């Protein structure tokens, strides 16, 4: 017996040693998958309760907040008012067919389902908001419970076999709201009620990685994050660790940078729906979801350990900081969202800013410090809100106010940057006092997106539209989109085509792939677009357009503008929303023009023009280097949001506009244009620039478009053909390229800085350049660039295969000149 006992002891020791070895040699970081980490032995019911409380705090704020704070008090008042209105209009009869009379179309209109849950959520928020007269109101709770049961029995449950109308309501909108209500009313719900609501959510969102009604469609980007969050909150509600892990692990597909399709790109681009720029909108939702999820799971057994999660902090700097100007999120990356009356650029910007403030609560210290400084600057600069905190949740309000009150946090300086987002055909140029944006399209990127009855007049928004942001902070707000002439947008070369309702979700591509540009040292750059409207409006209009972004001026060139149709063609230099009276003064060649509404004039031999801004710091100068015939128009325009979005108001709204256009006539052949935008210059400075311009057009043809900035000694050239082409400066050879390319060059007495890209993104080989200068050595070369000759000219080969439009740079030392 002693011998057997010793044998058993030995067996136990061996088993223990084996288990210890297994633990010691287990990989330190295993992939987070639902199979590998469904739950953790250390997880207790208390941890689920803590997560639920944490989510409730995100929804209604920590109950220790000061109700005497005027901003918090105002939020409590608005919350109570909204909930009281919803409660008083709630249909309570047992025989009811809907919860609210204006949301009674739910049998065919899925948004009424989401709308009903959202109203119940607002009521539940008031029930949980300390300081509200509805706080803890048992009658309110009873009506919420009854309404939830009615929704489960009649509208949203596990027995419904087919989703109808919009899948988003079934798989994202409604389950998100239902989950939030269940968290807020958790202590009032019976076990059977909790089970019912969880079963409904499981039915419509069993797996966050795929669409429920179409299992072959893999969820990406914002939609995937939304559904992951649905699954996580559902897991918290019934303490199911597998569901928390399933939701968390679904995020791992989102974190890495992509090289095609939906998601964030290394160059700062964000794409949704395969070919639509959506940094604002879907990208915004994704960032919000990531911040909420990371804040929720931080420090828990389901903390996100995927190493790629760190990319989120880079998204803020590379994707969001460049496209937010003084609190406004640029509409050129907002897709259909520009047509939503309740979501203008500053409202979208504020949503992103509060999210970055949330990220700063748990980001690594270096990023957190930078985020707080950026946030503080944007909030201080944005003067479009009567009260910036209105509309925020109490939790968001508290986080943001803490940053604004912290004297140790200094606001960041205005960003000075030039950036080509080659994967979404967008370009920005930022300088103190202004931001310039370019919205382009290619065979890769759609001209615009319409769908769900939204963006019904977006035809020209991606066809070379230019945006100029300055101190006129409300330029693209205050009913801009329903009142501007959507067929004459600034920067576009237009024939006014594009009628009828756009086809929902259709790709509207360019026939050309030459769209993009090159950026040098993140400070200077050029952009170009070879365009055809064949697949957008059906028009035969085509041409080549370039923009040269050096310092505080923007040079625009157009060439090869051709059309076979009977429509008149024009290039819109400017269409600017004016002040409330519409009397901003326009001066042309030193002569003040009439301020009467309806004034128009065909002006010949225009050298320069100047428009007084609506506020200080928003003047704009215009220079026409070749002299130009300019058509000017001052007009009042009236429209309604319903015209651009089926969900918009039918109430008429009006704005005054002034436009400047270069007319090319009917059926132009190889027409050209040139003009220069001079942000923030007054009339005197504009006139002086016209007399002493620091730019020269080196070429404006179907083969190349090139400009030299004499102050910087910088040259930009877009080569349009796969053929050897030499650019000349005053007759002397300067740059030769043998392929389609974009080249920016900055020359000092000692060095040459060079930036090169393949905007076509189709070159599987190399671009060969010859610079007609002599060099002694290369100081720094991108690995893709090789110098094959330094003297008597510099010859370079740039390997652009698979580069996705990326800019490659080189710094080359010039040879010392000898007498």
Mean residue pLDDT of the chain comes to 94
Q: Is residue 752 part of a domain?
A: yes
Q: How confident is the model at residue 214 (pLDDT cuts 50, 70, 90)?
A: confident
pLDDT tens per residue across span 405-447: 999 999 999 999 999 999 999 999 999 999 999 999 999 999 9
Q: Is residue 770 part of a domain?
A: yes
What 3-state class would DSSP assign to 467? strand
Q: Is residue 614 part of a domain?
A: yes
Last residue of a domain, one of 638, 673, 692: 692
Is the CB of residue 439 less than 8 Å from the CB of residue 332? Answer: yes
Which of the following is catalytic: 52, 119, 273, 426? 273
Q: Is 65 annotated as catalytic?
A: no
* Adjacency order of strands within the sheet including 276-277: 263-264, 270-272, 276-277
Scanning the structure block, which residue is given the tokens 């069993």? 206
Q: Is residue 374 part of a domain?
A: no
Q: Is residue 238 part of a domain?
A: no
What gap in Å lies between CA 756 and CA 745, rounded to an integer? Answer: 9
Same domain, 556 and 667: yes
Same domain, 752 and 632: no
Q: Is 388 annotated as catalytic?
A: no
Same domain, 688 and 761: no
Same domain, 452 and 563: yes
Is the CB of residue 507 less than 8 Å from the CB of residue 796? Answer: no
Q: How confident is the model at residue 99 (pLDDT cuts 50, 70, 90)?
A: very high
pLDDT above 90 for 13: no
Q: Is residue 91 part of a domain?
A: no
Nearest one of 690, 683, 555, 661 to 612, comparing CA atoms: 683
Q: What is the pTM of this model?
A: 0.92
Is the CB of residue 721 less than 8 Å from the CB of residue 703? Answer: yes
As given in the structure block, the two tokens for residue 504 are: 């929902």
pLDDT tens per residue across span 735-757: 999 999 999 999 999 999 999 99
Q: Is 282 annotated as catalytic?
A: yes
Largest CA distance in the chain: 116
What 3-state class would DSSP assign to 175? helix
Q: Is the alpha carbon torsion for 780, 782, 788, 791 positive or negative?
A: negative
**Residue-level pLDDT at 291:** 97
pLDDT tens per residue across span 356-403: 999 999 999 999 999 999 999 999 999 999 999 999 999 999 999 999
As given in the structure block, the two tokens for residue 526 are: 């050029």
User: Which residue range forms the structural domain that includes residue 560?
Assistant: 425-692
**Residue-level pLDDT at 82:** 98
Please state the domain count of the chain: 2
Same domain, 687 and 806: no
As given in the structure block, the two tokens for residue 260 are: 């095609």
pLDDT above 50 for 283: yes
Nearest one of 756, 734, 730 to 743, comparing CA atoms: 756
pLDDT tens per residue across span 675-728: 999 999 999 999 999 999 999 999 999 999 999 999 999 999 999 999 999 999
Same domain, 579 and 728: no
Same domain, 564 and 506: yes
What gap in Å lies between CA 357 and CA 370, rounded to an integer? Answer: 10
**Residue-level pLDDT at 818:** 58
Phi, psi of 503 (to 5 degrees): -70, 125
What 3-state class would DSSP assign to 432? coil
Q: Is residue 178 part of a domain?
A: no
Same domain, 674 and 793: no
Nearest one of 247, 362, 212, 229 to 299, comparing CA atoms: 362
Same domain, 535 and 476: yes
Nearest one of 158, 153, 160 to 198, comparing CA atoms: 158
Same domain, 529 and 671: yes
Which of the following is catalytic: 234, 336, 346, 444? 336
Last residue of a domain, one of 643, 675, 692: 692
Q: Return the CATH number at 667.
A: 2.70.98.10
Last residue of a domain, one of 677, 692, 707: 692
Q: Is residue 77 part of a domain?
A: no
Same domain, 737 and 650: no
**Residue-level pLDDT at 17:** 43
Same domain, 537 and 597: yes
Is the CB of residue 427 less than 8 Å from the CB of residue 420? Answer: yes
Which of the following is catalytic: 156, 282, 476, 673? 282
Polymer length of the chain: 819
What gap in Å lies between CA 222 and CA 285, rounded to an integer? Answer: 6
Q: Return the CATH number at 797.
A: 2.60.220.10
**Residue-level pLDDT at 284:** 97
pLDDT tens per residue across span 104-159: 999 999 999 999 999 999 999 999 999 999 999 999 999 999 999 999 999 999 99
């Amino acid at each position: 017996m002693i011998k057997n006992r010793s044998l058993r002891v030995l067996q136990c020791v061996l088993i223990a040693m084996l288990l210890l070895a297994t633990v010691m040699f287990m990989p330190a970081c295993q992939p987070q998958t639902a199979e590998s980490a469904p739950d953790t032995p250390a997880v207790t019911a208390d941890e689920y309760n803590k997560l639920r409380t944490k989510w409730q705090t995100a929804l209604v704020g920590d109950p220790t907040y000061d109700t005497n704070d005027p901003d918090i008090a105002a939020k409590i008042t608005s919350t109570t008012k909204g909930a009281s209105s919803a409660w008083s209009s709630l249909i309570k009869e047992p025989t009811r067919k809907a919860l609210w009379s204006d949301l009674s179309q739910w049998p065919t209109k899925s948004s009424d389902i989401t709308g009903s849950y959202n109203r119940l959520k607002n009521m539940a928020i008031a029930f949980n908001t300390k300081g509200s007269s509805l706080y803890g109101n048992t009658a309110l709770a009873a009506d919420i419970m009854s309404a939830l049961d009615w929704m489960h029995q009649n509208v949203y449950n596990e027995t419904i076999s087919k989703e109808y109308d919009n899948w988003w309501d079934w798989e994202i909108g409604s389950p998100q709201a239902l989950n939030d209500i269940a968290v807020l009313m958790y202590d009032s719900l019976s076990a059977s009620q909790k089970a019912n609501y969880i079963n409904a959510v499981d039915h419509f969102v069993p797996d966050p990685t795929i669409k429920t009604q179409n299992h072959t469609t893999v969820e990406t980007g914002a939609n995937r994050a939304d559904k992951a969050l649905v699954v996580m909150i559902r897991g918290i509600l019934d303490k199911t660790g597998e569901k928390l892990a399933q939701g968390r692990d679904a995020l791992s597909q989102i974190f890495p940078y992509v090289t095609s399709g939906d998601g964030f790109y290394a160059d700062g681009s964000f794409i949704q729906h395969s070919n639509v720029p959506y940094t604002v909108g879907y990208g915004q939702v994704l960032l919000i979801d990531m911040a909420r999820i990371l804040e929720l799971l931080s420090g828990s057994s389901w903390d996100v350990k995927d190493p790629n999660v760190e990319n989120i902090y880079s998204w803020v700097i590379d994707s969001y900081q460049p496209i937010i100007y003084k609190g406004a999120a640029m509409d050129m990356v907002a897709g259909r969202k520009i047509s939503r009356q309740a979501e203008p650029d500053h409202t979208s910007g504020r949503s992103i800013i509060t999210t970055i403030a949330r990220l700063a609560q748990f980001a690594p210290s270096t990023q957190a410090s930078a985020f707080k400084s950026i946030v503080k600057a944007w909030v201080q600069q944005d003067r479009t809100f009567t009260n910036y905190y209105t509309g925020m949740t109490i939790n968001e309000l508290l986080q943001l106010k803490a940053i604004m009150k912290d004297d140790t946090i200094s606001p960041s300086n205005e960003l000075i940057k030039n950036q080509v987002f080659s994967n979404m055909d967008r370009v920005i140029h930022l300088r103190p006092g202004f931001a310039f944006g370019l919205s382009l399209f290619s065979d890769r990127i759609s001209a615009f997106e319409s769908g769900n009855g939204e963006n019904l007049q977006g035809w020209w928004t991606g066809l070379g539209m230019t945006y100029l942001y300055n101190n006129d902070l409300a330029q693209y707000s205050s009913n801009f989109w329903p009142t501007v002439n959507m067929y004459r947008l600034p920067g576009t070369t237009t024939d006014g085509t594009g009628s009828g309702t756009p086809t929902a979700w259709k790709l509207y591509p360019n026939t050309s792939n030459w769209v993009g540009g090159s950026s040098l040292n993140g400070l200077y750059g050029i952009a170009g677009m070879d365009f055809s409207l064949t697949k957008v409006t059906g028009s035969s209009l085509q041409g080549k357009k370039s923009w040269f972004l050096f310092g505080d001026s923007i040079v625009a060139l157009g060439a090869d503008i051709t059309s076979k149709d009977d429509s008149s063609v024009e290039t819109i230099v400017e269409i600017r929303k004016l002040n409330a009276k519409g009397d901003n003064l326009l001066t042309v060649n030193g002569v003040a023009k009439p301020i009467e509404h309806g004034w128009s004039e065909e002006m010949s031999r225009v050298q320069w023009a100047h428009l007084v801004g609506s506020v200080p710091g928003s003047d704009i100068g215009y220079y026409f280097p070749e002299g130009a015939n300019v058509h000017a128009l001052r007009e009042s325009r009236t429209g309604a949001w319903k015209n651009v979005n089926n969900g918009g108001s039918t109430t008429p709204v009006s704005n005054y506009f002034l436009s400047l256009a270069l007319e090319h006539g009917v059926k132009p052949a190889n027409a050209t244009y040139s003009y220069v935008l001079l942000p923030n210059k007054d009339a005197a400075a504009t006139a002086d620039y016209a007399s002493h311009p620091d730019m020269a057009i080196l070429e404006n043809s179907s083969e190349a478009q090139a400009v030299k900035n004499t102050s910087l000694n910088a040259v930009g050239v877009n080569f349009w053909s796969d053929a050897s082409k030499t650019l000349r400066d005053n007759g002397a050879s300067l740059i030769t390229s043998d392929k389609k390319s974009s080249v920016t060059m900055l020359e000092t007495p000692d060095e040459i800085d060079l930036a090169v890209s393949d905007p076509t993104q189709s070159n599987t080989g190399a671009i060969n350049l010859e610079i007609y200068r002599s060099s002694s050595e290369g100081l720094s070369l991108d690995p893709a660039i090789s110098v094959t000759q330094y003297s008597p000219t510099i010859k370079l080969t740039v390997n652009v295969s698979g580069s996705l439009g990326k800019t490659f740079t080189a710094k080359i030392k010039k040879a010392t000149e000898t007498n």
